[in-house]
Amino acid sequence: MSATIIDGKAIAAGLRAQAAEDAARFAAERGRKAGLAVVLVGNDPASEVYVASKVKLTRETGMESFGHRLPAETSEADLLSLVARLNADESVDGILVQLPLPGHIDSGRIIEAIDPRKDVDGLHPENAGRLMNGLQGLVPCTPLGSMILVESAVPDISGLNAVVLGRSVLVGKPVGQLLLAANATVTMAHSRTADLPALCRNADILVAAVGRPEMVRGDWIKPGAVVIDVGINRLAPEPGREKGRLVGDVAFAEAVDVAGAITPVPGGVGPMTIACLLKNTLTAARRRAGG
Amino acid sequence: MSATIIDGKAIAAGLRAQAAEDAARFAAERGRKAGLAVVLVGNDPASEVYVASKVKLTRETGMESFGHRLPAETSEADLLSLVARLNADESVDGILVQLPLPGHIDSGRIIEAIDPRKDVDGLHPENAGRLMNGLQGLVPCTPLGSMILVESAVPDISGLNAVVLGRSVLVGKPVGQLLLAANATVTMAHSRTADLPALCRNADILVAAVGRPEMVRGDWIKPGAVVIDVGINRLAPEPGREKGRLVGDVAFAEAVDVAGAITPVPGGVGPMTIACLLKNTLTAARRRAGG
């Protein structure tokens, strides 16, 4: 084993501590706590877990958490009017609608109804465009967290070759824009890419966000590269076990011998997502308050 | 000379003919012509020429052209209220504010004031985000025209390596998103990129949009590649001449021996920009009319 393990858990804890300081200062200066509204429609068990964790960390950070639990059969119109109320509510700085939504609701329509200045998930097209055009906006949490991890390993990535595997709206594309804004030469690769291994071997920074367990092998990695593994995949359980192991998109045991720095799964990008949600909420709160 | 010369002039003429058909059908079905408002502030000579050409082609295509000429000292507030009036005007389908604007006006603020559905230049951040997120929107004219030229040479670019030189908001970034949406593997390169020649030599599709005369040499080009030259640079005049030659970002005389297909300058991407403006105006008109 040669690579530095990028400790996402510790870095996320540092971000949360910073957010708690910022939250305290905001509350002292403004006479109210920064507030995050989380909307959960239905009772998907995984979503319940995520939302509970967001609510808990929001409160621990010293912010107001506004929970909105709606039944699975909530109409799109009712959800839209809740979003409109939250847009207008001065005590709400950030709005997060937990995805996925039930099938009868058009997620795109809901996301586009959120005031872009309160869109702490960074999913509104206006925020995507602001990121692409180099304007101030809110950046999606997982890409922002991934970028912070890259910079923890290489403070200046100017001129380095970055390869992003996966071109999702949630992760791959915004990560590509963040790397480009930091002056990397960025290649967006995906399922149609010819000779992925050769392409990856040229990457000083490799971000894997495809959702395919251990797809990236050790011999795909350039010696010394920074590897950010966004994938969280659960393998089939081994005999006698109830749950399978969690693995990333990178074959960690192989990659760790070649890379210069690498994120583990779990404990890499995962904890960064919520930490960046708290950070985004405070960013939104400060901007809305005009500072 | 071995490369096919991509005849932008002819392809643009075909687009304009299609736009004229669409404009006639729109007028017949809706009882009014599609309308494009062009706003010119001040009297920059180059802008005057561009605007005159846009007005002429808009009318020739069978659309209404609404010209708004304002003095150079127009205030930002006055320009914003003109934009608001054009947003509200049902006879206006597209709004184009000719850039650059005088220094006392914040161009970004003006662009963001345009209704994204009338933003036929595709410069509003919401349209950039819609392009990035794969949603219906309006695509900037030069990138759209460049993409049409790529597809004229290679109908299916899925899996090909595309390299975009230059990461401007106006050209490089949106071209990159269009190529990615068409399933190319896309690398965004720029002034900080290490070893540009080697990177370009790997490109099946090379789009040069950096504004540096003849920077891309013949030996940067992969044999058989499709080369789209977005640059329009005027060289210093030769002795006894009043004006210098127009050249692209690619050393055409060298590249033409290596490439499979290449755009000339002038007569390549240039004529596509206005043709795509007409196309976008009709797209906006149809969508606003609900079809």
Looking at every residue in chain B, the average pLDDT score rounds to 97
Distance from CA of B125 to the nearest CA of A (A): 4
Please give the pLDDT value at position B289.
84
On the question of pLDDT at B143 being above 70, the answer is yes
CA angle B163, B191, A207 (to 5 degrees): 60
B176 chain-A contacts, CB cut-off 8 A: 188
Please give the pLDDT value at position B290.
83
Please give the pLDDT value at position B215.
98
CA B36 – CA A193 distance, rounded (Å): 40
pLDDT digits (tens, 9 = 90+) for A68-122: 999 999 999 999 999 999 999 999 999 999 999 999 999 999 999 999 999 999 9
On the question of pLDDT at A1 being above 70, the answer is no
For this structure, is A54 an active site residue?
A: yes
On the question of pLDDT at B1 being above 90, the answer is no
On the question of pLDDT at A22 being above 80, the answer is yes
ipTM value for the complex: 0.96
* CATH topology classification for A28-115: Rossmann fold (3.40.50)
On the question of pLDDT at B291 being above 80, the answer is no
pLDDT digits (tens, 9 = 90+) for A211-265: 999 999 999 999 999 999 999 999 999 999 999 999 999 999 999 999 999 999 9
On the question of pLDDT at A281 being above 80, the answer is yes
Selected catalytic residue, list A22, A93, A119, A121? A121
Q: Flag the least confident range among A5-9, A95-99, B1-5.
A: B1-5
Q: Are B268 and B228 in contact (CB under 8 A)?
A: yes
Q: Does this chain's domain B28-115 share its CATH topology with B141-271? A: yes
pTM, to two decimals: 0.97
Under DSSP, the state recorded for A222 is P
CA B138 – CA B143 distance, rounded (Å): 11
Q: Kindly give the residue spans of alpha helices, DSSP state H, lying in chain A.
A: 8-30, 45-60, 76-88, 107-113, 125-132, 141-153, 172-181, 196-200, 252-255, 270-288
Looking at every residue in chain A, the average pLDDT score rounds to 97
Instruction: Pick the residue from chain B with its C-alpha nearest to A108.
Output: B135
CA A55 – CA A250 distance, rounded (Å): 31
The CA-based diameter of chain B, rounded to the nearest angstrom, is: 57
Determine the 3-state secondary structure of A53 from DSSP: helix
Instruction: Pick the residue from chain B with its C-alpha nearest to A116.
Output: B126
Residue B2, annotated ligand binder? no
Question: Which residues on chain B place their C-beta less than 8 Å from a C-beta of chain A?
Answer: 108, 124-135, 137, 158-161, 167, 169, 173, 176-177, 180, 183-190, 192-194, 199
pLDDT digits (tens, 9 = 90+) for A173-210: 999 999 999 999 999 999 999 999 999 999 999 999 99
For this structure, is A98 an active site residue?
A: yes
Of the candidates B222, B179, B228, B223, the residue with the CA atom closest to the CA atom of residue B199: B222
In the predicted model, what is the mean pLDDT of residues B125-133? 98
Show the tokens assigned to B198.
């080697």
CA B289 – CA B291 distance, rounded (Å): 6
Please give the pLDDT value at position A289.
84
Instruction: Pick the residue from chain B with its C-alpha nearest to A195.
Output: B159
CA angle B272, A134, A277 (to 5 degrees): 135
| Spatial CB neighbours of B184, under 8 Å, sequence gap ≥ 6 | A192, B157, B158, B159, B160, B161, B162, B204, B205
| Spatial CB neighbours of A195, under 8 Å, sequence gap ≥ 6 | none
Asked whether the beta carbons of residue A177 and residue B130 sit closer than 8 angstroms, the reply is: no
- Per DSSP, what are the bridge partners of residue A169? none
Asked whether the beta carbons of residue B167 and residue A173 sit closer than 8 angstroms, the reply is: no
In the predicted model, what is the mean pLDDT of residues A137-146? 98
Q: Are A216 and A262 in contact (CB under 8 A)?
A: no
Q: List the domain boundaries for chain A.
A: 28-115, 141-271
Task: Decide yes or no: CATH 3.40.30.10 for domain A141-271.
Answer: no
Q: How many CB pairs under 8 A join A and B?
A: 101
